């Protein structure tokens, strides 16, 4: 990656909200430069920088035709209560790998249940990633074990998991 792509872009933006999600719009010059560096006009763009002197890793997303940098409470404490505040931000592309490896216990559980493994492999990529992320970020062995059991039950159509109802199993096709 060229040093130009590593250069931080600085800007000020007013914190806004859509639904329950605080975000900022990037100034057009900053947005154009990020899109140029990313060499894309759509999809997700991994970025990093600082908001009011706090480091962040985030994804720049296009929603309802507008590119937005969502500002969560990790990035800015009490962000939902700070709507209208003018923020100092820096941004650049984040070229670090964001691949999340499935927890070994999840891999083991799937390997030992062919039906669950087949259904897992047939899920949409986003739902697979959601399950992998959820289990990978758990802290205690107890919660990991408990949630892997819930994930397997979910894949078998026997219970909810990660805020979703059971998989509806119809013939050879699973629907959520």
Provide the residue-wise pLDDT of the chain in tens; the chain has 176 residues. 455 667 899 999 999 999 989 999 999 999 999 999 999 999 999 999 999 999 999 999 998 899 999 999 889 998 889 999 999 999 999 999 888 999 999 999 999 999 999 999 999 998 999 999 999 999 999 999 999 999 999 999 999 998 888 776 654 444 44
CATH of the domain at 54: 2.40.30.100
Where does residue 137 rank: exposed (0-12), middle (13-18), buried (19+ CB within 10 A)?
A: exposed
Domain span at residue 87 reads 3-93
Shared domain check, 88 and 7? yes
> Would you list the DSSP string of 7-39?
--EEEEEE-EEETTEEEEPPPHHHHHHHHHHHT
Instruction: For residue 51, give both structure tokens.
Output: 């908001």
Shared domain check, 116 and 64? no
CB 87 within 8 A of CB 79: no
Question: Rg for the chain (alpha carbons), in Å?
Answer: 20
Can you give the three-state secondary structure of 106-146, one letter per residue?
A: HHHHHHCCHHHHHHHHHCCHHHHHHHHHHHHCCCCHHHHHH
Shared domain check, 64 and 119? no
Where does residue 28 rank: exposed (0-12), middle (13-18), buried (19+ CB within 10 A)?
A: exposed
Shared domain check, 80 and 9? yes
CB 45 within 8 A of CB 60: yes
Where does residue 81 rank: exposed (0-12), middle (13-18), buried (19+ CB within 10 A)?
A: exposed
CB 109 within 8 A of CB 102: no
Shared domain check, 169 and 131? yes
Domain end among 64, 93, 122: 93
Domain end among 62, 93, 124: 93
């Amino acid at each position: 990656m060229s040093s130009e792509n590593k250069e931080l872009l600085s800007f000020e933006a007013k914190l806004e909200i859509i639904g329950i999600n605080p975000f900022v719009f990037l100034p057009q010059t900053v947005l154009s430069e990020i899109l140029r560096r990313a060499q894309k006009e759509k999809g997700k763009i991994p970025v990093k920088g600082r908001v009011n002197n706090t480091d962040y890793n985030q994804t720049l997303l296009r929603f309802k035709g507008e590119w937005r940098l969502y500002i969560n409470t990790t990035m800015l404490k009490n962000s939902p209560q700070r709507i209208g505040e003018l923020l100092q931000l820096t941004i650049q592309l984040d070229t670090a790998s964001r691949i999340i490896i499935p927890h070994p216990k999840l891999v083991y559980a799937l390997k030992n249940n062919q039906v669950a493994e087949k259904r897992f492999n047939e899920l949409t990529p986003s739902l697979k990633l959601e399950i992998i992320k959820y289990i990978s970020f758990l802290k205690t062995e107890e919660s990991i074990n408990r949630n892997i059991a819930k994930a397997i039950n979910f894949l078998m159509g026997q219970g909810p998991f990660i805020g979703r109802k059971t998989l509806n199993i119809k013939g050879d096709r699973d629907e959520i």
